[in-house]
């Protein structure tokens, strides 16, 4: 099995029923978790998993987008249905999914509170977070209350403490495990455990936001494919900043 669920590059060849893309198109895709195949010089993608690459970023940055940004979109837009003026708390705002979630929420006109360590407070501010919280010195439940939406992007013990900071009628979406239905019912909040899936329509929306400079991928490190293990060791620390990208070939000429 070849792992890897994000790719960016140039279309080499299309199948007989493909109408949206042609050889030579610069594209990016979120490959189905069932197939993978991204850690390779050549990969296959379905039309419904792929979109034209944003014109203002190279393949290295584009490869950082699909899975993480789609997850953030499906959590905040499709599931929580965030709206202008709402307040959103994002746990892990400096990570792969969190860094996109912050920017998507800001682009929707929400007020954003986000957690991260001391090291990442500057990044949170740079991404547009209105109230960054250093989880090493401050318990978020001591300084946050009555938010409309919580997006949980960390595996730490943040979910159990989140029920009490959401207003009645609010929403919790967790991408790292399901919220407790009894807690949610008791507090009259809508709760959801999300498993993201490829959706080319979401990628098209993300392309628009990136081309409008509303969101920008944060790539903290790039490794050659041969050093994929090093990249994974970095991810396994659970303290990666933004995304880590593997380069499998030189940047294609545009």
Ligand X SMILES: NC(=O)c1ccc[n+]([C@@H]2O[C@H](COP(=O)([O-])OP(=O)(O)OC[C@H]3O[C@@H](n4cnc5c(N)ncnc54)[C@H](OP(=O)(O)O)[C@@H]3O)[C@@H](O)[C@H]2O)c1
109: CB partners within 8 A, 6+ apart:
83, 84, 85
Output the smallest distance, CB 90 to ligand X, in A.
9
Residues 6-65 that bind ligand X (CB under 6 A): none
Distance separating alpha carbons of residues 60 and 26, to the nearest angstrom: 12
92 is an interface residue for ligand X by CB under 6 A = yes
Output the smallest distance, CB 23 to ligand X, in A.
31
Output the smallest distance, CB 227 to ligand X, in A.
18
Distance separating alpha carbons of residues 44 and 47, to the nearest angstrom: 10
Q: How large is the angle between the packed helices 96-107 and 200-211, nearest 10 degrees?
A: 70
Q: By the 8 A CB rule, do 114 and 98 touch? A: yes
Instruction: Write down how long the chain is.
Output: 254
Residues 207-246 that bind ligand X (CB under 6 A): 235, 238-241
**Residue closer to ligand X (CB basis): 95 or 170:** 95
201: CB partners within 8 A, 6+ apart:
none
159 is an interface residue for ligand X by CB under 6 A = no
190 is an interface residue for ligand X by CB under 6 A = no
**Residue closer to ligand X (CB basis): 195 or 229:** 195
Distance separating alpha carbons of residues 177 and 220, to the nearest angstrom: 26
Q: Is 145 left (phi over 0), alpha (psi -120 to 50) or beta?
A: beta
Q: Considering only CA atoms, which of 60, 51, 73 is closest in space to residue 218?
A: 60
Output the smallest distance, CB 196 to ligand X, in A.
3
| Sole binder of ligand X in the list 98, 132, 170, 179 (CB under 6 A) | 98
Residues 67-86 that bind ligand X (CB under 6 A): 68, 71
- The closest residue (CB) to ligand X is 95
Instruction: Please name the residue that has the structure tokens 């239905």.
Output: 181
| Sole binder of ligand X in the list 79, 86, 87, 94 (CB under 6 A) | 94
194 is an interface residue for ligand X by CB under 6 A = yes
Output the smallest distance, CB 89 to ligand X, in A.
11
Q: Where are the beta strands (DSSP E) in 190-242?
A: 190-193, 219-224
115 is an interface residue for ligand X by CB under 6 A = yes
| Sole binder of ligand X in the list 55, 81, 145, 155 (CB under 6 A) | 155
Select the span of 36-44, 49-57, 58-66, 113-121 touching ligand X (CB under 6 A). 113-121
Q: By the 8 A CB rule, do 75 and 199 touch? A: no
Angle at the Cα of 64 from the Cα atoms of 75 and 225, rounded to 5 degrees: 135
Output the smallest distance, CB 12 to ligand X, in A.
28
Q: Contact positions toward ligand X, by CB under 6 A? A: 68, 71, 91-92, 94-98, 115-117, 119-120, 135, 153-156, 158, 175-176, 194-196, 235, 238-241
């Amino acid at each position: 099995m070849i792992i890897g669920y994000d790719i960016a590059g140039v279309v080499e060849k299309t199948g007989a029923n493909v109408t949206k893309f042609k050889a030579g198109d610069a594209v990016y895709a979120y490959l189905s978790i069932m197939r993978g195949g991204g850690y390779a010089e050549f990969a296959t993608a379905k039309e419904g998993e792929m979109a034209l690459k944003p014109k203002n970023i190279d393949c290295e940055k584009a490869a950082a987008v699909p899975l993480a940004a789609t997850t953030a979109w499906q959590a905040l837009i499709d599931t929580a249905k965030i709206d202008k003026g709402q307040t959103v708390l994002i746990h892990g705002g400096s990570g792969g999914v969190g860094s996109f979630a912050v920017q998507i929420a800001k682009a929707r006109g929400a007020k954003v509170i986000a957690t991260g360590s001391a090291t990442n407070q500057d990044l949170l501010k740079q991404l547009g977070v209105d109230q960054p919280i250093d989880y090493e010195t401050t318990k978020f439940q001591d300084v946050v209350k009555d938010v409309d939406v919580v997006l949980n992007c960390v595996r730490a013990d943040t979910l159990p403490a989140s029920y009490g900071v959401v207003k009645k009628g609010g929403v919790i979406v967790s991408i790292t495990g399901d919220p407790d239905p009894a807690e949610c019912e008791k507090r009259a909040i809508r709760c959801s455990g999300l498993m993201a899936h490829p959706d080319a329509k979401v990628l098209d929306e993300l392309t628009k936001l990136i081309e409008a400079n509303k969101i920008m991928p944060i790539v903290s490190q790039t490794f050659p494919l041969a050093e994929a293990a090093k990249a994974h060791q970095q991810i396994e620390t659970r303290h990666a900043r933004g995304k880590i990208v593997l380069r499998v070939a030189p940047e294609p000429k545009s």
